[in-house]
Amino acid sequence: MLEVRGLRKAFGAVKATDGVDLALAEGAIHALIGPNGAGKSTLIAQLCGELRPDAGSIVLDGEDVTRLPAFARARKGLSRSFQITELCPDYTALENVVLSLMLTSGRAFQAWSNPRRDSGLVGGARRWLAEVGLGDRGDAHVRDLAHGEKRQLELAVALARSPRLLLLDEPMAGMGSEESSRMTTLLLGLKRRYTILLVEHDMDAVFALADRLTVLVYGKTIFTGTPDEVRAHPEVRSAYLGEQAC
């Protein structure tokens, strides 16, 4: 579904991504892990079209999208969540998902209609809220949701775009153990239905979810393998996992 070849991005003398290669099989959850400053956020920004790489290519389902802007990649089925939640705080949870559905269908600028009265949009939004465990929270304003609920809502907003590839940038960030467990269970329910690139520091969640992992250190991919192979790899243990891999 996704193939990245030789991706490079430098900021002055700092090589944020330095010849990154990455391949995601359709329907798999592929985790991208590494210490802070490894280049994970820069890589995600390049995959989404927010940053143009200095070199290399990004191929989505056989099509080279390296030079396409972010909105064009979204139209081709790439959807994402963010490290810091990006939602409309003065809207309800339902309205946030309705907005996502409107953007997907190209109806966002039909100002003469009231989307809150559109049974198709509202019904679709309620189904996505139920999908992520927020079926009873549709009328709550985003500002009144708990942190974990906001992360669930952001996932609903992303899923409402019917993505072919879903990029999840630290979906457990800021969560307690109970919230992280709930999100892990939710993502397990999406497995095989979506192709997912997961960036996450919660190693319990990563090893529970991922089919394969790529380890990024100082902008370079140092290893890609199964969870068991990553746990056992001496360079990965030394660079990132340490004793938590035991």
pLDDT digits (tens, 9 = 90+) for 90-131: 999 999 999 999 887 665 555 556 667 777 889 999 999 999
pLDDT computed for residue 245 by the predictor: 45
Classify residue 238 by burial, with Cβ atoms within 10 Å: 0-12, 13-18, 19+: exposed
Arithmetic mean of pLDDT, 19-40 = 93
Residue 246 pLDDT class (50, 70, 90 cuts): very low
Q: Using CA atoms of 72, 75, 79, 81 in order, give the dihedral in degrees to the nearest 10.
A: 60
Lowest-pLDDT choice from 11-20, 97-106, 206-215:
97-106
pLDDT computed for residue 113 by the predictor: 60
Indicate if the pLDDT at residue 164 is higher than 90: yes
Arithmetic mean of pLDDT, 4-19 = 95
Percent of the chain beyond pLDDT 90? 71
Arithmetic mean of pLDDT, 23-52 = 93
- Could you tell me the domains of the chain? 1-77+163-246 (3.40.50.300), 86-162 (no CATH)
pTM score of the predicted model = 0.88
